[in-house]
Amino acid sequence: MKRRLVLAAALLPAAALARGAGAWKVEDPGLAAQPVTMMAVLAALSLLPFAVMMLTSFSKITVVLSLARSAMGTQQAPPTVILTALAAVLTAHVMAPVAGRMIQAGEAAFAHAESGVELLEAARATAEPLREFLLRHASPEERARFADLARELRPPSEAALVADTDLSVVVPAFALTELAEAFHIGFLVFLPFLVLDMLVANVLLALGMQSLSPTQVSLPFKILLFVAVDGWALLAQGLIHGYR
């Protein structure tokens, strides 16, 4: 009798779950019922780090901040993690208007997209604000260079179809333009610290203190100069204003 009661108690939850299985049905499976769409979303997420680095202001800001740290000669202060986080915050500030326009365009484009062709058209419409941003900040010289390279890589019958506003042309042109501008800014940041190094070296030479390293002696004065002019705020403000 006891065995029957134990067996009944063990089977009772299973029977209850079997009777209530209908209540556990998912009414709207969403992307789980669309494997092709799920794969496309996962593929897009895997490209997200590349997009953040090359299709935004992140690369330029990171290079400028790194060059500013090298100009001061502070080695690893601030740490690379802090500089990367600061670059990410400034990038989010710069790209917020573009992201807002992309979200608005995507909501309107994907609202009625069902077939594969309609999804591609919706993706193009969503990426249009980003393409306009890249086009506005890519130099005409770089766009012309990569347009010529793209025409050389194609058969003569397809070369005439290449324009300097194509996304395949604008993206590398924007990346190289950002790097060039970052090094231009880095050169200007280096100049005052270089002058300070030369001044300290001449003073040490005049005092007969050749044994002292001018770099070590000038380091506190570099930090003082950078703090006095509010260097981090000036760099952030200048970088953000460069994308107006």
pLDDT by residue (tens digit) across 103-160?
A: 887 777 666 666 666 667 777 777 788 888 888 888 889 888 888 888 888 888 777 7
pLDDT reading at 164 higher than 70: yes
> Predicted confidence band at 23 (pLDDT cuts at 50, 70, 90)?
very low
Average pLDDT rounded to a whole number, residues 200-217: 77
Hey, which of 41-50, 107-116, 167-176 has the most confident mean pLDDT?
Answer: 167-176
Residues 10/12/15/19 CA torsion (nearest 10 deg): -150
**Of the candidates 216, 207, 234, 206, the residue with the CA atom closest to the CA atom of residue 64:** 234
DSSP 33: G
CA distance 131 to 173: 12
Q: Quick check: 83 pLDDT over 70?
A: yes
pLDDT at 27 over 60: no
pLDDT at 126: 74
pLDDT band for position 211 (50/70/90)?
confident
Q: Does the pLDDT at position 75 exceed 70?
A: yes
Query: Which position has the higher pLDDT, 157 or 5?
Result: 157
Q: What is 215-241 written as a DSSP string?
A: HHHHHHHHHHHHHHTTHHHHHHHHHHH
Output the six-digit token pair for 80.
């690379």
- Distance from C-alpha of 166 to C-alpha of 40, rounded to nearest angstrom: 22
What average pLDDT does range 170-181 have in this prediction?
Answer: 90
User: Is the preceding peptide bond at 214 cis, omega within 30 degrees of 0?
Assistant: no
Give the confidence band of 22 by pLDDT, cuts at 50, 70, 90: very low
User: Cis link prior to 78 (omega < 30° from 0)?
Assistant: yes
Calculate mean pLDDT across residues 47-62. 82
Task: Using the predicted structure, report yes or no on whether residue 183 has a pLDDT greater than 90.
Answer: yes
pLDDT at 177: 92
CA–CA gap between residue 112 and residue 230 (Å, rounded) = 51
Q: Report the pLDDT value the prediction gives residue 182, as an integer from 0 to 100.
A: 92
Which residue type sits at 61? I
Q: In whole numbers, what is the pLDDT of the chain averaged over residues? A: 78
pLDDT for 115: 64
pLDDT class for 184, splitting at 50, 70, 90?
very high
Q: Read off the pLDDT of each residue in 161-184 and give the average, rounded to a whole number.
A: 87
187 pLDDT above the threshold of 80: yes
The CA–CA distances, whole Å, from 160 to 71, 141, 150, 152, 169 equal: 46, 19, 10, 11, 14
Of 25 and 46, more confident: 46
Q: What is the pLDDT of residue 14?
A: 47
